[in-house]
Amino acid sequence: MKITVYSPEPTAYIKTKYFLQLILSLLVMTTYNAIIIDDEKNVQEALKILLERNCPNINICDTASSASQGRELLNNWDVQLIFLDISMPGENGFDFLASIQKEDYAIIFTTAYEEYALRAIKTNAIDYLLKPIDPEELKEAVSKATSHLDLRRQNQKIQNTYDESLNNLTRQANDGFVYAPKITVIEKFGFEIVEVEKIRYIEADGAYSVINLSGLEQVVSSKPVGEIEKILDPSIFVRIHKSTLINLNFLKGFSSFEGYYAILDDKTELAISRRKYNEFKEAVSNYSKSIE
């Protein structure tokens, strides 16, 4: 009887095989040219190091310390991705954004925590990073930005939606960051602009959210309900359950028969949790006073 003995691959062979696979993956990887615009040199250098270590598909062409220098870099390089600081002396990040052909680039804002600015950025589903920048959050933001950039190149509707989102963002910056009349919803394969006044209620569906609009239309967002809630006016949009957010403009009544229910003007009944019941009553009371 013939016996075949299998021996493990030699260590040197394994290392060579792994190295060749790595080289091949790098050769087929799509690379993106990027610039960093930030008035702090230490932030520029830290971000460059993080990108070199964590995002091999990003090629940093150059850095700028002001909006005017940033525009010069756009003239000198074929850039696809911009890391843009919000708070800079003179022209800030929003001023810079308003001065360029926004549709040509993917934008990732970098900022310290500024509630008014973050709300506007989230409202329009633009990618951002909080300083100090976390490597894992950097990888996620870069992955999202480059994926959306590729989608926009393939689909004009997605490109138009992204352009409108950036235009809405610059308008909100000039208006002082009031709650926006439109929000950008990130879907599985793109974006959708939604008029806030048409949102009747939002319900959780696993890790997703289903936004129910007037006319029985639905938009499925890849964001959880809690994230969407943060960019909507809390005097109008009220959480009645851990999985449900309603627009009080569509509230018609209330029922306490076999539980608590909010009744909308189309007779839709939505359960109110006991934990949220008092908050719901207070919100309705305040809303009623505001429209008297």
- Residue 61, pLDDT score: 97
Closest CA to 51 of 32, 24, 79, 25: 32
Three-state SS across 125-172?
Answer: CCEEEECCCCHHHHHHHHHHHHHHHHHHHHCHHHHHHHHHHHHHHHHH
Structure-token match 């690379």, residue found: 31
Average pLDDT value for the chain: 84
- Residue 12, pLDDT score: 56
Q: Does CATH place domain 196-290 in 2.40.50.1020? A: yes
Contact 18, 48 (CB under 8 A): no
**CATH superfamily assigned to domain 15-175:** Response regulator (3.40.50.2300)
- Residue 202, pLDDT score: 97
Token pair listed for 290: 């505001």
Closest CA to 238 of 275, 206, 279: 279
Q: Go through the chain and tell me how many residues it has.
A: 292
| pLDDT-flagged residues of the chain (< 70) | 1-29, 113-117, 125, 173-178, 188-189, 290-292
pLDDT digits (tens, 9 = 90+) for 202-225: 999 988 899 999 987 999 988 899
| C-alpha 79 chain-centroid distance | 21
Its pTM stands at 0.67
Q: Is the dihedral of CA 41, 46, 50, 56 positive or negative?
A: positive
Token pair listed for 114: 């500024």
- Residue 3, pLDDT score: 52
- Give the domain ranges of the chain: 15-175, 196-290
Contact 184, 124 (CB under 8 A): yes
- Residue 9, pLDDT score: 52
